[in-house]
Structure 1
Amino acid sequence: MVHDLELVSVGKTYADGTKAVSNFNLQVEKGEFVAFLGPSGCGKSTTLRMIAGFEEITEGDILIKGRNVSATPPEKRPTSMIFQNYALFPHMTVRRNVGFGLDVKGLPRAERDRKVDRILDMFDLTEVADRKADRLSAGQRQRIALARGLVVEPEILLLDEPLGALDANLRRIIQNELKLLQRELGITFVFVTHAQSEALGLSDRVVVMSNGVVEQISTPKELYLRPQTPFVARFIGANTLIEGRPLASEGGALGKAFNRIDTALGPISGIGPSGSTLAVIPAEAFRLAPEGQPGEMTLPGRVVWKQLVGATGHFRVRLANDQEIGIETHSDTARAQILDVGAVVTLGLDPGAVTLMPSNP
């Protein structure tokens, strides 16, 4: 099967021996929206630049539509890249900025004008087409950058934190527009961001990176509910991590009890292979309950911090082993309203919400 984009054991090592990216493997289908997510310096932008051809790879291969482009210069690749600072020409009008890539390709003027007019209309930029780019708002400049990247009709659009310079409200508006646009055009998007909300809300799959290594590639839902490594468990969402050791079944051997671990708080059940020693519990999986329900695990604790924000109640509860964990619940519940700092509580927990993994994979 031919993929829109395929990275095969791609790596980048700089002249001083620094490894920026190691053994990156990924297959992207046509029309898929994939986000690279991770902390600063994890290698996500370097990987995007290698796909674009702006950064030379030192290991592996990059294939687009089945063709190896590892040694192909950027201008010869069927990709277009949008940067955080938009990289617009301030002395040019909106129309000339948008059509710049078509001019480089040497398109006849009539065809260029037709394509530019169509994309300007799509991005609601027709009325400002003859203004200088530096006279427009941040939201308009962002749309200009998107229009310039898409007017050349790339096979793959690469976006390097394109919303990072926008304020929160405008960022949300552009996020919605970006997702709708991608679905309408059916173009493959590869999107770099350090914002979890963007990665989880926009993409079909998320690639989480740490120190140049891929930690997990999953759908947003799977990534949030079933992290596969301790790094992802700590990086995504607001999880509680509890250390433990495997519980042995009768006879001292791991058998049917392989999915339970013994912790300082007692046994915890979940899903996972034998030898799992780390229980990962999402903040919203806990239930503030006066008594446990059938099938639930219960953990005693004491409230040490409380804040009600809109519809959400945020609590910090100190468990019996002195570990403090975050709890999120609906602020309108009677339990959330009457609980104060110092209150003794019981936390109910569905074992199915727990993910078990090796603490040092």
Structure 2
Amino acid sequence: MLHDLELIQVGKTYADGTKAVSDFNLKVGQGEFVAFLGPSGCGKSTTLRMIAGFEDITEGEILIKGQNVSHTPPEKRPTSMIFQNYALFPHMTVRQNIGFGLDVKGLPKAERDRKVERILDMFGLTDFADRKADRLSGGQRQRIALARGLVVEPDILLLDEPLGALDANLRRIIQNELKLLQRELGITFVFVTHAQSEALGLSDRVVVMSNGLVEQISAPKDLYLRPQTPFVADFIGNNTVIEGRARAAGLIDTAYGPIAGVGGEGASVAVIPAEAFRLAPSGAPDEIRLPGTVTFRQLVGAAGHFRVRLSDGREVKVETHSETPEARSTRPGDTITLGVDPRSVTLIAA
């Protein structure tokens, strides 16, 4: 199967010996939306720049549609990159900014103008086409940057935290537009972000990185519900991580008693999402039960947020629907028993 993008054991080591990225392996299908997610300094932007050709690789290979582009200069790669600061030319009009990449490619004027006008219309920028880019709002400048990246019809659009400079409301609007646009055009998107909500909400798959290494590559739902490493369990969502000792496949011994879950032989860490806790046991015979004392309660719309201190003083986060009888009646200071369905627990190696 031919992939739009393939990274084979890609690595980046700087001259001083610092390893920025190690052994990065990834296959991206045509029209897929993939997000690189991780804390600052984890190597996600460096990887994106290596794909674009702005950063040399020191190990491995990068293939685009089966062609090795590991040492191909950026302008010769079928990619387009959008930066957080948009990198627009302030002295140019919107129309000139969008057409710049086509000018570099030497397209005939008639074809260039046709492509520019079409994408101006697609992004709702026609009324602003002759204004200088620096006189427009953040949302409009973001659309210009997207239009400029897409007008050259790349095989892959690379986005390096492109929404980071926008306020929260505008960010949500552009997120929705971005996903709809990607589906409509069918272009492969590789998107770098440190915001979990963006990665989980926009992408088909998420690559979680830490210290230059890939921790997990999964669909958003699988990443959230089935973390594969302690880092991912701690980084994604509001999980309670309980260390123990492996007893058998699907079962570990902990300070709170045996905990069953989904996992293989040798797993010794239980990961319980905040949404998996019930404020009262359901009565199922295999249910995990954890006694504790409520220390915090907040009901916001349909969501109920609680914290419960367990027998050893540890506090766990509980998220439930605010309209359940237990959520309405439970108060700080109450002694309760949390219930957990073992099927919602993931057991991983330490």
Q: TM-score with structure 2 length normalisation?
A: 0.98
CA deviation vs aligned residue, 1:153-182 (integer Å, no higher than 9, x gap): 000000000001111111111111100100
Equivalent position of 2:288 in the other structure: 297
Distance between the aligned counterparts of 1:84 and 1:126, measured in 2? 23
1:351 counterpart (317, 342, 346) = 342
Equivalent position of 2:258 in the other structure: 267
Distance between the aligned counterparts of 1:306 and 1:11, measured in 2? 46
Equivalent position of 2:273 in the other structure: 282
Equivalent position of 2:109 in the other structure: 109
Secondary structure, aligned partner of 2:305: strand
Q: Please report the RMSD computed on the Cα atoms of aligned residues, expressed in angstroms.
A: 0.9
Assess, with a 3 A threshold, how the Cα gap between structure 1 residues 242 and 213 changes in structure 2: closer, same or farther: same
The 5 A counterparts of 1:1-361 are 1-247=1-247, 257-289=248-280, 292-359=283-350
Residue identity in the other structure for 2:121: D
Contact 1:246 1:277 in 2 (8 A): yes
Unaligned segments of structure 1, at least 5 residues: 248-256
Residue identity in the other structure for 1:120: L
CA deviation vs aligned residue, 1:118-168 (integer Å, no higher than 9, x gap): 000000000000000011110000000000000000000000000011111
Contact 1:6 1:25 in 2 (8 A): yes
CA deviation vs aligned residue, 1:183-204 (integer Å, no higher than 9, x gap): 1101000000000011001100
Contact 1:291 1:346 in 2 (8 A): no
Kindly state the Cα deviation for residue 307 of structure 1 after the two structures are TM-superposed. 1.5
Contact 2:281 2:287 in 1 (8 A): no
Secondary structure, aligned partner of 2:249: helix
Hey, which bits of structure 1, 4+ residues long, moved more than 6 A?
Answer: none
Equivalent position of 1:251 in the other structure: none
Distance between the aligned counterparts of 1:294 and 1:120, measured in 2? 62
Contact 2:290 2:338 in 1 (8 A): yes
CA deviation vs aligned residue, 1:268-299 (integer Å, no higher than 9, x gap): 00121222110000000011116633432211
Residue identity in the other structure for 2:258: P
Distance between the aligned counterparts of 1:29 and 1:339, measured in 2? 48
Residue identity in the other structure for 2:208: V
Secondary structure, aligned partner of 1:11: strand
Secondary structure, aligned partner of 1:335: helix
Distance between the aligned counterparts of 2:76 and 2:200, measured in 1? 32
CA deviation vs aligned residue, 1:205-251 (integer Å, no higher than 9, x gap): 0000000000000000110010000000000000000111122xxxx
Contact 1:35 1:191 in 2 (8 A): yes
Secondary structure, aligned partner of 1:130: coil
Distance between the aligned counterparts of 1:223 and 1:246, measured in 2? 23
Secondary structure, aligned partner of 1:142: helix
Secondary structure, aligned partner of 2:42: coil
Contact 1:11 1:21 in 2 (8 A): yes
Distance between the aligned counterparts of 1:92 and 1:297, measured in 2? 63
CA deviation vs aligned residue, 1:308-343 (integer Å, no higher than 9, x gap): 222111111011122110000111222212222111
Contact 2:297 2:304 in 1 (8 A): yes
Q: Could you tell me the percent identity over the aligned residues? A: 79
Residue identity in the other structure for 1:155: D
Distance between the aligned counterparts of 1:77 and 1:9, measured in 2? 20
Q: TM-score with structure 1 length normalisation?
A: 0.95
Distance between the aligned counterparts of 1:92 and 1:258, measured in 2? 63
Distance between the aligned counterparts of 2:280 and 2:94, measured in 1? 59
Equivalent position of 1:254 in the other structure: none
Contact 1:246 1:275 in 2 (8 A): yes
Kindly state the Cα deviation for residue 76 of structure 1 after the two structures are TM-superposed. 0.3
Contact 1:4 1:28 in 2 (8 A): yes
CA deviation vs aligned residue, 1:6-37 (integer Å, no higher than 9, x gap): 00000000000000000000000000000000
Distance between the aligned counterparts of 1:85 and 1:329, measured in 2? 39
Moved more, 169-178 or 257-266: 257-266
Distance between the aligned counterparts of 1:333 and 1:229, measured in 2? 33
